[in-house]
Amino acid sequence: MDTHDGAWSEIELTVTVKAYPAISTKHRETVCVAGIQEGLLGSASHIRLYPVPFRDLPFEVRFRKWDRVRVRVRRPRNDSRPESHSIDASTIELLGHLGPERNWQARRPVVDQLHRYSMCELQAAQKADGTSLGLVVPDEVLDFTVEDREEDEREEARRYLASQPTLFDDDKAGLPLVEAIPYYFRYRFRCADCAPGKSPHHMSIIDWEIHQAYRSWRDQYGADQVLERLRTKWLEEICAPDRDTMFFTGNMHQHPGSFLVLGCWWPPR
């Protein structure tokens, strides 16, 4: 068990992103969650909750994206990123849900309080003060790419699964394992501050939604159609000209200079 230095405090947040569970870590199948904590005077900041033992939570507090949540948090000793907090999962309370009705009207005032970064600007902020979460405006989305995961990474996941008796116990109990998805899904884009001649940003999309879509559409439409359907949704719909598309992004704990797309914010213009 890790020890922690921070003092507990109670916060309220709006959940904006849930990452697909990581299985090749020391934590048993846990989920990284990020959200927006509203402050005084119309300010708001990003907050990261990790780890969240999602499957161990009672069903009634398994929050969704855009839920309003109250929970006790503290700063972890082993993650110095300024936005990171560990949680006391037994204190989670759901306060309500911000739905998509009337062109996402309920969600806009919350997201509108956030600073909007260009990707290059966020990378500079990370170097300067450790900023590790940000809402990014992709000036021009060039492509949605799909690549096979490297064999060594899949092998690492297999080794990890083999070393975790609790996962197999769960499996026997009839709970589905989180599936190691065989692809990387990525956006290629230019931001407003990309230097001419510099290669575009190319960032993995790690949200729960795209991985769940992969699993359910593969079963529904078959392996030969699923990638095309993902491309249609994540490129043509989410990045359509009539959408004000932005990315919730965050960096990797062990590789602070590497950022990932944690989720999309794509309200109708």
Residues found near Zn ion in the complex (CB under 5 A): 119-120, 191, 194
Shorter beta-carbon distance to Zn ion: residue 139 or 153: 139
Phi, psi for residue 123 in degrees, rounded to 5 = -65, -35
Please, how many CA atoms are within 13 Å of residue 8, restricted to the half-sphere of its CB?
Answer: 8
Q: Is the dihedral of CA 225, 226, 231, 233 positive or negative?
A: positive
Shorter beta-carbon distance to Zn ion: residue 49 or 191: 191
Supply the minimum distance, in Å, between the C-beta of residue 125 and Zn ion: 13
Shorter beta-carbon distance to Zn ion: residue 95 or 192: 192
Shorter beta-carbon distance to Zn ion: residue 98 or 191: 191
Displacement of CA 151 from its chain's centroid (Å): 24
Number of CB atoms found within 10 A of residue 177's CB? 13
Supply the minimum distance, in Å, between the C-beta of residue 134 and Zn ion: 12
Shorter beta-carbon distance to Zn ion: residue 106 or 120: 120
Supply the minimum distance, in Å, between the C-beta of residue 91 and Zn ion: 39
Q: How far apart are CA 245 and CA 216, in angstroms?
A: 24
Supply the minimum distance, in Å, between the C-beta of residue 109 and Zn ion: 28
Supply the minimum distance, in Å, between the C-beta of residue 242 and Zn ion: 24
Q: How far apart are CA 63 and CA 212, in angstroms?
A: 16
Supply the minimum distance, in Å, between the C-beta of residue 193 and Zn ion: 5
User: Which long-range CB contacts under 8 A does 237-241 form with residues at least 24 apart?
Assistant: 238/264, 238/266, 239/138, 239/141, 239/266, 240/266
Q: Are 202 and 145 in contact (CB under 8 A)?
A: yes
Q: DSSP letter at 69?
A: E
Shorter beta-carbon distance to Zn ion: residue 143 or 219: 143
Q: What is residue 138's three-state secondary structure?
A: coil
